[in-house]
Amino acid sequence: LWIGVPRERAAGEKRVATVPEVVAKLVKLGFRVAIESGAGDAANFADETYVAAGAEVMPDAAALYARADIVFRVRPPTLAEVAQLREGATLIGFIWPAQNPELMAALQARKVTALAIDCLPRQLSRAQKMDALTSMAGVSGYRAVVEAANAFGRFFNGQITAAGKVPPAKVFIAGAGVAGLAAIGTAANLGAIVRANDTRAEVADQVKSLGGEFVKVDYEEEGSGGGGYAKVMSEGFQAAQRAMYAQQAAEVDIIITTALIPGKPAPKLITAEMVRTMKPGSVIVDMAAEQGGNCELTVPGEAVVRHGVTIVGYTDLASRLARQSSTLYSTNLLRLTEELCKTKDGVIHVNFDDDAIRGLTVIKDGELSWPAPPPKLP
Ligand code: NAD
């Protein structure tokens, strides 16, 4: 079968779903690979490098979609792009079915099979190698620290120089899931003093192992909402947490927020008043900007200055490190393809007895198969 990789057309999207290194591996699995001309340009993968790896370059999207039995994408397709998919084709990429009912209807009408990488049952250890949410969150957490360092006017590490002594920067990370942990490790590697908080106390050891200090909220309440995710906390907890965050805000130079609760708006953890008490030149990077933000003053997609504090609300952090995120993402899709093509003969089988495959198959041959029943855990 032909795997087709179109150029991503969402504004500002620099990632590509397949990198040349992965093309060669897909060819080894028996597939033929077509890439739309320029698909890798923004991530610094030129057409020639795809050709060298065994791909064929298609002049435009129409030619690409006409050829592709299987389409690898990063972002969900637009309705116009769905119309270009061949009937019976298989689409693999981010789909977010709960947020995109119109897209789901269009895909069913087109009689395609849709595999949503965002619906992978992440709790299965076997699924980790395909977990693009985790790899993208890791890239974003790293990039959040790079953005913070870029906006911050000082060193992260302490230095003793002939021109004077420089204290290390203090960084506070709100939420220590995948992105938060990546940010903790990156900021600690740059030499900052790193503190972090999460409502799930179970992450404290991971925070420490990455070089951070876990700061507890002075209020007893279990924060796990099941499946490793958070829940909405009680009013009492929230008040105690605000008091602790207010204290940190006045003390630290940089705050990186990553707190999310599945299916809910992002919790507001950093109030306008806290921003006002931060030192001039401080930086906030709000990684929850797309879900409404953890900071009251965040403007999604922009960097703004409020009360002398730069508040970065970029919603494309993974795309800002496009070569790295594309490489990791396409490796996740390669691992998925290996699961779909155990026979290594360039054909895929969407096997519903496999819990990982079942979980991410949201449409099969035009039939809605989402939401999937929960996987049986070993
Ligand atoms: P997420 O993006 O949903 O949330 C980010 C973090 O914010 C979480 O750690 C959450 O507890 C925290 N948070 C939510 N509300 C908060 C609040 N009010 N105050 C402070 N912190 C708050 O989560 P994620 O990064 O996608 O990962 C969540 C969990 O899933 C983690 O436990 C992770 O280890 C787990 N996970 C497991 C696997 C696996 O088992 N294979 C794979 C990926 C992720």
- 184-241 per-position pLDDT tens digit: 999 999 999 999 999 999 999 999 999 999 999 999 999 999 888 999 999 999 999 9
Over the range 324-354, which residues count as b (16 or more CB within 10 Å of their CB) and which as e?
bbbbbbbbbbbbbbebbbeeeebebebeeeb
**Distance from the Cα of residue 246 to its chain's centroid:** 28
Where on the phi/psi map is residue 97: left (φ > 0), alpha (ψ -120 to 50), or beta? alpha
- Report which of 124, 139, 126, 122 is spatially closest to residue 74, judged by C-alpha positions: 139
Q: How confident is the model at residue 358 (pLDDT cuts 50, 70, 90)?
A: very high
State the ipTM, two decimals: 0.95
Distance from the first to the final alpha carbon of the chain = 34
The residues facing 58 across adjacent strands are: 36
The residues facing 305 across adjacent strands are: 310
Distance 229 CA to ligand 1 centre (A): 5
- 198-214 per-position pLDDT tens digit: 999 999 999 999 999 99
Report the C-alpha gap between 370 and 361 in whole angstroms: 7
H helix or E strand, kind and range, residue 114: strand 113-116
Tell me the pTM.
0.97
Any atom of ligand 1 within 6 Å of the Cβ of 134:
yes
Task: Assess whether pLDDT exceeds 90 at residue 377.
Answer: no
Pairing assessment for the beta strands 361-364 and 113-116 based on DSSP bridges: antiparallel
One-letter amino acid for residue 34 of the chain: A
Any atom of ligand 1 within 6 Å of the Cβ of 294:
no
Site to probe by mutation for ligand 1, drawn from 119, 120, 122 as the one with most ligand atoms within 8 Å of Cβ, is 122
3-class SS string, 217-243: CCCCCCCEEECCEECCCCHHHHHHHHH
Any atom of ligand 1 within 6 Å of the Cβ of 138:
no
What does the pLDDT read at residue 261? 96
What does the pLDDT read at residue 24? 98
Count the Cβ atoms, other than its own, within 10 Å of residue 290.
16
What phi, psi does 341 have (nearest 5°)?
Answer: -135, 60
Structure tokens at 267: 């919790």
Name the closest-CA residue to atom 10, ligand 1: 230
Task: Assess whether pLDDT exceeds 90 at residue 317.
Answer: yes
**Distance from the Cα of residue 366 to its chain's centroid:** 28
Report the C-alpha gap between 2 and 347 in whole angstroms: 9
- 248-277 per-position pLDDT tens digit: 999 999 999 999 999 999 999 999 999 999
Report the C-alpha gap between 227 and 202 in whole angstroms: 13
- 111-156 per-position pLDDT tens digit: 999 999 999 999 999 999 999 999 999 999 999 999 999 999 999 9
Q: Exposed, middle or buried by CB within 10 Å (0-12, 13-18, 19+), for 17?
A: buried
Structure tokens at 173: 């990370």
- Nearest ligand 1 atom, CA 125: 41
Task: Assess whether pLDDT exceeds 80 at residue 315.
Answer: yes
What does the pLDDT read at residue 227? 85
Name the closest-CA residue to atom 32, ligand 1: 228
Any atom of ligand 1 within 6 Å of the Cβ of 118:
no
Site to probe by mutation for ligand 1, drawn from 126, 199, 206, 271 as the one with most ligand atoms within 8 Å of Cβ, is 199
Any atom of ligand 1 within 6 Å of the Cβ of 268:
no
Pairing assessment for the beta strands 283-286 and 164-166 based on DSSP bridges: unpaired
Q: What's the CA angle centered on 180, arms 258 and 138, to 5 degrees?
A: 110
Task: Assess whether pLDDT exceeds 80 at residue 378.
Answer: no
Name the closest-CA residue to atom 35, ligand 1: 228
Task: Assess whether pLDDT exceeds 80 at residue 26.
Answer: yes
